[in-house]
């Protein structure tokens, strides 16, 4: 379980997240939706502590931390929590000088100190899982965007995190390549992987997520089962946003 209580994140005087309370159950898939600048990516980055919250508390499994204005979280405590998460970024962020296998194995070797043979075995298994076992020796520059994102997903899964965090995983891809990534994430969802996905992609959100959270100006406007939120949102602001998504997508609401 991932639990955020009263999370505030400020950059200077600008409040990006404003007392956010949200819980993600183990094995659940949650879509974070909302307009650009609403706080989706910052919320993900607070979960894996790439951004340290200004105040509030975070729990992932048995590990937890509290944050206070002006306080400084201890490095070891931050690392304990961060290692519970895997992050998939919008623009892949693969190492260009390493092949697909080495990209996936890198954290296992350098952070977890696995022997190279064991790390490469794990990497090969994960590349097979995302349909790229035949691309283990390929350089990122030779892969399509969809293939690069699938390597990035394998890399995020390598240390067996408790939650997979995905920040707009299909937004840099054309629809055909995006469908490859959607299918991989859908398979992970069917296997019970806990995921939190920030996305504008209605196909991704409606296909995979059981829960949805609508964020705007750092505040949770509405949350609930994704089918209900996409088809019968309670708040007028959510209704307008869902309508906008439907108009810009060829996917019907679930």
- Looking at the 3D structure of the chain, how many domains does it have? 2
* 137 & 197 share domain: no
User: Do residues 100 and 138 make contact, with C-beta atoms less than 8 angstroms apart?
Assistant: yes
pLDDT tens digits, residue range 105-130?
Answer: 999 999 999 999 999 999 999 999 99
- Point out the domain boundary residue: 160, 180, 196: 160
> With b meaning 16 or more CB within 10 Å and e meaning fewer, what string describes 4-36?
beebbbeeeeebbbeebebebeeebbbbbbbee
Using the 8-state DSSP alphabet, how is residue 250 labeled? S
Domain termination site, one of 117, 137, 160:
160
Judge if 29 and 16 occupy the same domain.
yes
In the block, tokens 């690392």 appear at 79
> What strand order describes the sheet that includes 55-60?
14-24, 2-11, 55-60, 63-67
User: At 249, is the pLDDT very low, low, confident or very high (cuts 50, 70, 90)?
Assistant: low
What confidence category does residue 248 fall into, taking pLDDT thresholds of 50, 70 and 90?
Answer: low
Q: Are residues 38 and 112 in the same domain?
A: no
Give me the domain span that covers residue 97.
91-160
DSSP, collapsed to helix, strand or coil, labels residue 62 as: coil
The whole-angstrom separation of Cα 1 and Cα 45 is 17
Tell me which of 138, 160, 182 is where a domain ends.
Answer: 160
- The answer to whether 149 and 92 are in contact (CB under 8 A) is yes
pLDDT tens for residues 144-159? Answer: 999 999 999 999 999 9
Q: Higher pLDDT residue, 201 or 146? A: 146
The number of angstroms, rounded, from the C-alpha of 21 to the middle of its chain's C-alpha atoms is: 18
């Amino acid at each position: 379980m991932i639990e955020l209580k009263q999370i505030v994140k400020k950059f200077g005087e600008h409040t990006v997240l404003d007392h956010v309370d949200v819980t993600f159950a183990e094995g659940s898939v949650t879509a974070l939706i909302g307009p650009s600048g609403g706080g989706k990516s910052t919320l993900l980055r607070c979960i894996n502590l790439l951004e340290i919250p200004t105040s509030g508390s975070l729990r992932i499994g048995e590990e937890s931390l509290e944050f206070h204005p002006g306080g400084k979280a201890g490095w070891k405590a931050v690392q304990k929590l961060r290692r519970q998460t895997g992050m998939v970024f919008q623009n892949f962020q693969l190492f260009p000088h390493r092949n697909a296998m080495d990209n996936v194995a890198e954290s296992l070797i350098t952070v977890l100190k696995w022997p190279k043979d064991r790390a490469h075995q794990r990497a090969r298994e994960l590349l097979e899982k995302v349909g790229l076992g035949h691309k283990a020796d390929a350089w990122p520059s030779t892969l399509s965007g969809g293939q690069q994102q699938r390597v990035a997903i394998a890399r995020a899964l390598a240390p067996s995190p408790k939650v997979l965090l995905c920040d707009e995983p299909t937004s840099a891809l054309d629809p055909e390549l995006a469908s490859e990534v959607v299918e991989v994430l859908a398979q992970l969802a069917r296997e019970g992987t806990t995921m939190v996905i920030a996305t504008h992609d209605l196909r991704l959100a409606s296909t995979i997520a059981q829960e949805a959270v609508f964020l705007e100006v750092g505040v949770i406007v509405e949350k609930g089962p994704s089918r209900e939120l996409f088809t019968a949102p309670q708040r007028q602001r959510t209704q307008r946003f869902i309508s906008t998504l439907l108009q810009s997508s060829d996917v019907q609401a679930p």
